[in-house]
Chain A
Amino acid sequence: AQRVTQPEKLLSVFKGAPVELKCNYSYSGSPELFWYVQYSRQRLQLLLRHISRESIKGFTADLNKGETSFHLKKPFAQEEDSAMYYCALSESFNKFYFGSGTKLNVKP
């Protein structure tokens, strides 16, 4: 069963525009949710996790249990934000389920 859904394969925005990358999940317990990012020619790396409630590189994500969503937002996109973004859900911190990814393209 698909546990993490990222409906957009590609999102193109202009520099300075707001960005929202969508993530919906299905999980019966209390989910641990993450956003990972893969910049060109770099390894996949953690961007943020919901339990930390932090903002990294201007990105934030709020867990909405009612809508089962964990959308990633940034008010003003920068060209260096262009990358592949993956939403992930952890089941008891042993199994991790990743979405299919959204490619963010920030145009100058």
Chain B
Amino acid sequence: NAGVTQTPKFQVLKTGQSMTLQCAQDMNHNSMYWYRQDPGMGLRLIYYSASEGTTDKGEVPNGYNVSRLNKREFSLRLESAAPSQTSVYFCASTGTSYEQYFGPGTRLTVT
């Protein structure tokens, strides 16, 4: 039981490049989330998916897109990376207890 997994662990992009961050959970959770963590800002919700087939914007959705591919997988895409998107990205999922289970994070640097 791996819980929440994220790939890649680290990534360096140049401004304007695109990439997709992958997230998967094996706990049969309905809800999944993407956060970014910046120094002094805590975690800010980018997008979430309350169930398979639905996605909604969080606090900071600009510059990102998401896909809830199936119940297990929730990906985050940066179409044209900007230095302001340099951050640590966390994926999380919740089940019926509403406890959030977090992935290990992806450290993204945009130069």
Q: What residues make up the interface of A, taking CB atoms closer than 8 Å to B? A: 4, 6, 9, 32, 34, 36, 43-46, 49, 86, 88, 90, 93-101
Contact = CB atoms under 8 A, between A and B. Distances in A.
Contacts of A6: 42
Interface string B93-105: 0100011101111
A100 B40 contact: yes
12 contacts: A4-B42, A9-B40, A46-B100, A86-B43, A88-B100, A93-B94, A94-B56, A97-B59, A98-B43, A99-B42, A100-B41, A101-B42
Given A95-B48, A97-B59, 19 more contacts: A4-B42, A6-B42, A34-B100, A43-B103, A44-B90, A44-B100, A44-B102, A45-B102, A46-B100, A49-B98, A49-B99, A86-B42, A86-B43, A94-B31, A94-B50, A95-B58, A96-B33, A98-B44, A99-B42
B45 interface: yes
Contact of B45 (A46, A96, A100): A96
Interface of B: 31, 33, 35, 40-45, 48, 50, 56, 58-59, 90, 92, 94, 98-100, 102-105
A86 B45 CA distance: 14
A96, A97, A99 — which one has the most chain B CB atoms within 10 A of its CB?
A96
A54 B8 CA distance: 36
A101 B39 CA distance: 9
B56 to A, nearest CB: 7
A106 B83 CA distance: 35
Contacts of B94: 93
A100 B42 CA distance: 4
Contacts of A36: 100
A43 B94 CA distance: 15
